[in-house]
Homo-oligomer: A and B are copies of this chain.
Amino acid sequence: MTSGINLVIPAQPEYLSLVRAVVAAAAALDPGLGDDRIEDLRIAVSEATTNAIEAHANLGSRERITIRCDLADDRIEVEVEDHADPGFEAGELDSPGPLDRPGRLEYEGGMGIPLMRVLADEMKIRSLDHGTAVQLVVYASGPSKD
């Protein structure tokens, strides 16, 4: 992780645009990543951070959120770690609705995790002792996710 960037922010929505700017700037340091993939990563990280901020708000937690960007030769990995405990409810992770399931558009929410899944080449959600870590990976030469 010596080639990585860490950003720690208060769990408040006004920091989201800063997170997007940092991720875009970090990704731009990777010469193998095209503008389209940087944009995909920027959107996905913004969604993960939004969920983390929301989880903190629901619990009234004043702890901060950590965004780690790790640049490797062939990929960029970003991990969004929050301290909202409990994190995901059991089972919630098993059935994240696809974007096109019938009736989904009746709801105004529930698009964040499906968006992350299609935008990132890899997406993993890990429950921590006191929070959640969402890992998003975009490969420099990865398959176009369009």
Which residues of A does B touch, CB under 8 Å?
Answer: 2-10, 14-15, 17-18, 21-22, 25-26, 29, 62-64
Query: Which residues of chain B have C-beta atoms less than 8 A from A6's C-beta?
Result: 6-8
A interface: dominant SS: mixed
Query: Which residues of chain B have C-beta atoms less than 8 A from A64's C-beta?
Result: 2
**What distance in Å separates the Cβ of A132 from its nearest Cβ neighbour in chain B?**
19
Which single residue of chain B is at the shortest CB-CB distance from A1? Answer: B64
| Alpha-carbon gap, A9 to B26, bound state (A) | 10
Which single residue of chain B is at the shortest CB-CB distance from A29? Answer: B14
**What distance in Å separates the Cβ of A93 from its nearest Cβ neighbour in chain B?**
29
Give 12 CB contacts A-B under 8 Å. A2-B62, A2-B63, A3-B10, A4-B10, A5-B7, A6-B6, A6-B8, A7-B22, A18-B29, A21-B21, A21-B25, A22-B22
